[in-house]
Amino acid sequence: MTEPVAILMPGLAALTFVLLVAWWAVITGIMQIVVAIELRKAISGEWLLVLGGLVSIAFGGLLFWRPGAGLLTIVWIFGAYALFYGFLLLFAGFRLKALRPAV
């Protein structure tokens, strides 16, 4: 009878989760930078998307650098990242909303 891997090897499951989040952050950051470059002629304030992409890449790099730092640390880092990134998206959204009459 096969048991779930997360129950038999919780350390491996936590490491897999951390690495999955790291890859997600890096890929998301790269895609945001590409989108910002593509939209630079259509919108102003694309630097917010670039900054958000760089923050995502830095977050992913930090997770790759210290994957065994502990899941509690990852939760704190993820929370700080989510707050900072959320504020960046709010500012970008307000800037885009200001462009609405022009579009």
- Read off the pLDDT of residues 31-78 as tens digits, 9 standing for 90 and up: 999 998 988 888 777 888 899 999 999 989 988 988 877 567 777 877
Q: In the block, which residue shows the tokens 């509690």?
A: 72
Mean pLDDT, range 22-26, rounded to an integer: 93
Task: Please indicate, yes or no, whether the overall pTM of this predicted structure exceeds 0.85.
Answer: no
Structure tokens at 34: 């590409």
Per-residue pLDDT at 103 exceeds 60: no
Per-residue pLDDT at 101 exceeds 80: no
Please count the other Cβ atoms lying within 10 Å of the Cβ belonging to residue 12: 11
Amino acid at 41: K
Question: What pLDDT was estimated at residue 1?
Answer: 47
